[in-house]
Structure 1
Amino acid sequence: MRNIIYFLYILWNIGNAQSEQYPLPEIIISDNRISVPLSQTDRSVVIITQKDIQKSPVNSIEELLAHQAGIDVRHRGINGVQADVSLRGGSFEQVLILVNGTRMSDVQTGHHSMNIPVNLNSVERIEIIKGPSARRFGQNAFTGVINIITRLNSDSSLNLGMTSGEYGSFGVNTNIQSGGSNFKQSIQSNYFQTDGYRHNTDSKKTDFWYQNELRIGKHSLSLQAGFLEKKFGANGFYATPAATEQYEEIQSSLVNLQANLSFDQLEIKPGIYWRRHEDMYVFVRRDPSIYRNMHIGNTLGGALNATYKSRVGVTGIGMELREEYLSSNNLGDWSRNSLSVFLEHRFELFGQRLSITPGAMLADYNDFGSFFYPGIDIGYSINSFNRIYANSGKTYRTPTYTDLYYEDPANKGNPYLKPEEALSYEIGYKFTRKNISFDLNFFRRENKNLIDWIKQNEEDKWKPVNVAEVKTNGLEVFADYRFFNSFLNHLSFGYTYLDNEFKDTEGLISRYVLDNLKHQFTAKLNHNLIKNISLEWAYRYNYRVSLDDYHLLDAKLKWSNNRWDVFLQSNNLLNTNYTETNLIPMPGRWFSGGINCTIL
């Protein structure tokens, strides 16, 4: 503890000594709620920029997130064919995925949360907001929110790319940007295929994304539409590792219409959206008649958010109405409607050095009743670069229809499940400057009625139950430094420690809740070799409670100029044998490469 205090003292004095040389960046969190500069947020927030994405040795959004401290991504294959994302020791059902502020949660199962029609090349940046967020975003924002913001440039351009690698992998992508002073649009398409790194892990992935924005004075109107299709062999992905012939096809569609009405002190953001998701699963690929599931889900939603600035701070208010439908030969035909309303106010006192943001959400479901979830954020700026913060909030999640009604030879749902609830606390310190950032935080989450699939004996079926009580304690440290010299460009590292206190779980075999990370360490280094050639190293160490720990090292060598990018990439350079979920062996060392060209 003495060393940590000494380090914080050094950061404070660095900020005071160099305040004129390095002004603060103006990065605004864009989650359709109260807009706050990154340095003034009273939460633990990580921003992944487009430049970070271009340098990273990854092929998908899922792989990019796996390199971030505090995020646990459990892959079932390469290139994001199927992956579950969680934050701070929670489950994949407890993190809310947004695309440009619109929720991607799926009423069938959280396994589909990352089935979004947006490719890595279309991403402008990703905002990761950690901690309880139900008072602003509603359910699924149990442990945090990941907001994926797509690229829409004012300049016109045409970008073409191609990748190729081991395991018969091949991909092509296009990105067209058309810009003007009042109207701009973007069209992106991507195709990827691979023969797979072991039996029945081949896959094909196609996605399309369109977005535009029309500006009328200070107001704007935006249309977004996307389509995703995946077809993949699912060797051991579900059921048991012995189920080697599984196969799945997925289609996901999204249409979203948003407006931004800006007045002197008032900003109003209405929006409507439709999301469709189709999932077809067969137990034996060559003979679908043995066992086949077909699920089709549709979600219709409308949201209205507003912020008002006054002498006493900023007020945020909003509401969302959602209608969710599911038609399934296994789960049955169901519908769920919900209405949520939130209100918050950010008080800024003592020359804006102290901020206090209380708020609450009221949500009503036709099948689970009403919920009231309050929360509060508090922050104090010691000076321009040093800030301490604390927050607390209640969160919740209603069961999915898979939790409630799914049944097959190895699993049986539970229609008597209760919603998950938690009360979370966090205290932290952050140091922010143009080229350096540091965040240290401690958090505690007191979970009640957590949903986990368990069994008492190996021969039993998996069944979801409400685990009586789980308390999660955690520590996170994150540091990021941008260099100003000709060799070193960027260095970052992060460490996460998690400790769960369980009650009434002795003797149970857990599929999710009892299989969390204990220690996680991530590090990235980017440096130049010669002119126009850079090398990025990305290291990860994961230690899980019930699986072997492992070290992973990825690297990307890149040559670039104004029009061309050529790269060579290696994943799992250490050739580590490891699994992330369901005892699925992940690929050893493998190589890929690609080329991108900007024509206009």
Structure 2
Amino acid sequence: MRFYIPFIFMAFCVLHANANEDSTAVDLGGITIMENRLEIPFNKVSRNISVIQRKAIETTPARSIQEVLAFTPGVDVRQRGVSGVQANIGIRGGSFEQTLVLLNGIKLTDPQTGNHMMNIPVPFQSIQRIEVLKGPGSRIFGQNAFAGAINIITELPETKSLNIQGFGGDLGMRGGHVIASLPVGKYKQTLSISHDASDGHWYNSDFKVSNVFYESGYELNDNHEFHAMMGFSDRSFGANGFYTNAFPDQWESLQTYLSSLSHTYRKGNFYLQNRAYWRRNVDEFRLRRNEPEFFTNNHISDVLALEINGAYTSKWGTTGLGIEGRDERIDSNNLGQRDRQFLGLFAEHRVEFLNKFDARAGIYSNLYDEFGWRHFPGAEVGYQLNNYSRFYSNFGMSYRIPSFTELYYEDPSNFSNPNLLPEEAWNYEFGWKIEKNKMRGEVVYFYRFTENLIDYTRNPSDLIPNPNRWTPGNISQVTFRGVETAFQYLANWGGSQAKLRELSLSYNYIDADLVQAEGVESRTALNALTHQVIAGLQAEFLQKLEFTMKGRYMERMALDPYFLLDSRLDYNRLKKLGFFLEVSNITNTDYIEAGFVQMPARWAKVGFMVRLD
């Protein structure tokens, strides 16, 4: 594996930093991980969880959630274009179908296909933080959290504010957002509107993405609180190479609707939350953009869900219970009219004992009308060696039901397979965390044994493009194992004129015993990450300029490795008027992340920010 000079330099800086003492601390202990029942301080969680905070979201050279996640250790983001117009998110070698995405705890699963799970109707600038759970999440969130889960969290401001941003750049990039917060007494509310567009980086790759998001909350009294969300996303894009290279004029248009209403009751040691939500995705896909009569798919998928989650804390620990009911439907000229129902039951308990130990165990039981009851247990144990060092271990079983696309979708490039079985896996994890002074680090080993893994494959051909169709099928047994490491150091070297603020370095390795027939192409599973190196630094100049640089080395099983270097410069980021400059792919790397889409060469954008409080 090749290591580039920026990585060597950043690694040297991190190792040098560890030898110095300073009173500044990398303190994440104040963050509470927002699960649906138990709320656990970050420094007492016995899982590998990455928390991307607001500052990192603002200063990372990125314009979308997808691009920010690309700099997260252990997360594989495979984009089909810039600004996350469409991207697949994998965790620990899992496919995009095996990752669950949530918005404030509400599941954004699309029964049609995981390709649409990142159609999130929230402007990027409205996000306060992102929590990335690596490993099985079925016991916590349900059946789609097979390899991991991503919870996107927004926040209702206490004061009035107006935030405006605009930008433009290469590839015909342009866009902006407006976020207004207008609390009235105990009623808090925020309205966010954003628009991003580009002329595209190659033939038929233009896009337009618009989002509208409204969030409100009302505190009736000390015990009762109501919360509502409504969102709409409209995106259309030229899809050259997205799904097949046989039709360069592919085009797609998507509209996503989301609404939710929740009630939370807290009194003493008791917590109860009831909520209902609805999500609709409208998808029009054409094989020839300007000839809809040649081949057009129209899909409308709906998800309606009800959840009740509660927790009670006593001298024996904290007990969490939950129940969910989901109805998933699709009306499609290709997939037909389909519907399915789920019932999920959750039970878990967490206890601390002997001063330094904590344990958590639970089970998720799922009733699906086609496969009946399935049960998925899991447990965690942690040992706090001292105030700054912690060992932990956990195991759990995960589960995923095939999407409607995997079961029924067919076109000139794809077959369906209505006989697919659900994916199941046993997962084990061992980790060590350290958080001392200015340094934070984590080392993790994980193991996942999967049965009935679903993957699309096709036979080889001497013709270009390959005329054979992709067909989904169950691979009998597959084992993934890997090591994840991540280190962060708040250096604060220098003076008021120039200061090196932060250094970070991570390395992730995944090995899979996938045995592929010679020449057979894989769309998802056989393209998992094997090596991932991410390094970053952040500096400050004249107390007004913030400079962030991040580099990534990515090596997948069946694709050529590549290195990317991105940077961002902010001026007066937290003031009333600020400016920024981003440069992506500084190294001018020639690479492909997903499908057959050749990603763009070096490109840049510049913008302004206005903050009024």
Normalised-by-shorter TM-score class: over 0.9
Q: 1:478 aligns with which of 474, 480, 486?
A: 486
CA contact (8 A) 1:476 1:497 kept: yes
Residues 1:225 and 2:230 are matched in the alignment: yes
* d(CA) in 2 for partners of 1:264, 1:514: 50
CA contact (8 A) 1:24 1:434 kept: no
Aligned counterpart, 2:577: 564
Residues 565, 413 of structure 1: CA spacing in aligned structure 2 closer, same or farther, 3 A cutoff?
same
Residues 1:447 and 2:450 are matched in the alignment: yes
Equivalent positions of 1:199-278 (< 5 A) are 199-218=203-222, 219-239=224-244, 241-278=245-282
TM-score normalized by the length of structure 1:
0.95
* d(CA) in 1 for partners of 2:314, 2:22: 33
| CA displacement 1:181-218 (0-9 Å, x = unmatched) | 52211100001111111111111111000001111222
Equivalent positions of 1:353-392 (< 5 A) are 353-392=356-395
Secondary structure in 1 matching 2:300: strand
Aligned counterpart, 2:601: 588
Residues 21, 246 of structure 1: CA spacing in aligned structure 2 closer, same or farther, 3 A cutoff?
closer
Q: 1:468 aligns with which of 465, 470, 476?
A: 476
Alignment-mate amino acid for residue 405 of structure 2: T
CA contact (8 A) 1:154 1:181 kept: no
Alignment-mate amino acid for residue 497 of structure 1: Y
- State the shift of 1:460 in Å: 2.8
Q: 2:121 aligns with which of 117, 132, 157?
A: 117
Residues 412, 317 of structure 1: CA spacing in aligned structure 2 closer, same or farther, 3 A cutoff?
same
- State the shift of 1:435 in Å: 3.9
Residues 1:573 and 2:586 are matched in the alignment: yes
CA contact (8 A) 2:492 2:502 kept: no
- State the shift of 1:508 in Å: 3.3
Residues 1:148 and 2:160 are matched in the alignment: no
Q: 2:97 aligns with which of 88, 93, 106?
A: 93
* d(CA) in 1 for partners of 2:555, 2:38: 37
* d(CA) in 2 for partners of 1:473, 1:23: 30
Residues 1:426 and 2:429 are matched in the alignment: yes
CA contact (8 A) 2:25 2:436 kept: no
- State the shift of 1:23 in Å: 6.7
CA contact (8 A) 2:26 2:489 kept: no
* d(CA) in 2 for partners of 1:131, 1:313: 24
| CA displacement 1:323-354 (0-9 Å, x = unmatched) | 11100000000001100001000011012x21
- State the shift of 1:530 in Å: 2.2
Q: Which stretches in structure 2 are left out of the alignment for 5+ residues?
A: 1-10, 462-466
- State the shift of 1:160 in Å: 1.0
Aligned counterpart, 1:488: 500
- State the shift of 1:365 in Å: 0.7
| CA displacement 1:386-420 (0-9 Å, x = unmatched) | 10000001101000110001111111110100000
CA contact (8 A) 1:155 1:179 kept: yes
| CA displacement 1:495-545 (0-9 Å, x = unmatched) | 110000125756632111111111000011110122301110011000111
Secondary structure in 2 matching 1:93: helix
CA contact (8 A) 1:341 1:361 kept: yes
Residues 73, 21 of structure 1: CA spacing in aligned structure 2 closer, same or farther, 3 A cutoff?
closer
| CA displacement 1:47-102 (0-9 Å, x = unmatched) | 00111111111010000001111100110011111100010000000010000000
Residues 110, 474 of structure 1: CA spacing in aligned structure 2 closer, same or farther, 3 A cutoff?
same
Aligned counterpart, 2:55: 51
* d(CA) in 2 for partners of 1:316, 1:19: 38
| CA displacement 1:272-323 (0-9 Å, x = unmatched) | 0000000000011111100000000111001111010010111111011001
Secondary structure in 2 matching 1:412: coil
- State the shift of 1:20 in Å: 11
Secondary structure in 1 matching 2:405: helix
* d(CA) in 2 for partners of 1:463, 1:22: 48
Residues 542, 21 of structure 1: CA spacing in aligned structure 2 closer, same or farther, 3 A cutoff?
closer
Q: Which stretches in structure 1 are left out of the alignment for 5+ residues?
A: 1-6
* d(CA) in 1 for partners of 2:454, 2:77: 19
Aligned counterpart, 1:411: 414
* d(CA) in 2 for partners of 1:482, 1:359: 37
Alignment-mate amino acid for residue 325 of structure 1: R
Alignment-mate amino acid for residue 474 of structure 1: G
* d(CA) in 2 for partners of 1:410, 1:521: 34
* d(CA) in 1 for partners of 2:444, 2:153: 26
Aligned counterpart, 1:4: none
- State the shift of 1:366 in Å: 1.0
Aligned counterpart, 1:519: 531
Alignment-mate amino acid for residue 490 of structure 2: R
* d(CA) in 2 for partners of 1:368, 1:360: 18
Equivalent positions of 1:29-68 (< 5 A) are 29-68=33-72
Residues 1:164 and 2:164 are matched in the alignment: no
CA contact (8 A) 1:391 1:425 kept: yes
Secondary structure in 2 matching 1:79: helix
Residues 1:345 and 2:349 are matched in the alignment: yes
Residues 67, 263 of structure 1: CA spacing in aligned structure 2 closer, same or farther, 3 A cutoff?
same
CA contact (8 A) 1:360 1:373 kept: yes
- State the shift of 1:565 in Å: 1.8
* d(CA) in 1 for partners of 2:134, 2:303: 26
Residues 387, 298 of structure 1: CA spacing in aligned structure 2 closer, same or farther, 3 A cutoff?
same
* d(CA) in 2 for partners of 1:282, 1:63: 26
Alignment-mate amino acid for residue 349 of structure 1: F
CA contact (8 A) 1:280 1:292 kept: yes
* d(CA) in 1 for partners of 2:529, 2:168: 33
* d(CA) in 1 for partners of 2:490, 2:510: 28
Secondary structure in 2 matching 1:208: strand
Alignment-mate amino acid for residue 512 of structure 1: T
- State the shift of 1:432 in Å: 2.3
| CA displacement 1:208-264 (0-9 Å, x = unmatched) | 00001111222211000100000111111112x232101000000100111211011
Q: Which moved more, 1:481-490 or 1:136-145?
A: 481-490
* d(CA) in 1 for partners of 2:107, 2:27: 34
Residues 507, 20 of structure 1: CA spacing in aligned structure 2 closer, same or farther, 3 A cutoff?
closer
* d(CA) in 2 for partners of 1:437, 1:265: 32
CA contact (8 A) 1:25 1:434 kept: no
Alignment-mate amino acid for residue 494 of structure 1: S
Q: Which moved more, 1:193-202 or 1:17-26?
A: 17-26
Secondary structure in 1 matching 2:56: helix
Secondary structure in 1 matching 2:387: coil
CA contact (8 A) 2:24 2:490 kept: no
- State the shift of 1:177 in Å: 1.2
- State the shift of 1:33 in Å: 2.2
Aligned counterpart, 1:528: 540
- State the shift of 1:583 in Å: 2.7
* d(CA) in 2 for partners of 1:315, 1:404: 38
| CA displacement 1:450-490 (0-9 Å, x = unmatched) | 00011233343211110011100100001112234540112
Q: In angstroms, what is the RMSD of aligned CA positions?
A: 1.9
Q: Following superposition, which runs of at least 4 residues in structure 1 exceed 6 angstroms of deviation?
A: 17-24
Alignment-mate amino acid for residue 237 of structure 2: F
Secondary structure in 2 matching 1:244: coil
- State the shift of 1:120 in Å: 1.2
Equivalent positions of 1:308-327 (< 5 A) are 308-327=312-331
| CA displacement 1:545-576 (0-9 Å, x = unmatched) | 11110000000011015212200110000000
Residues 27, 370 of structure 1: CA spacing in aligned structure 2 closer, same or farther, 3 A cutoff?
same
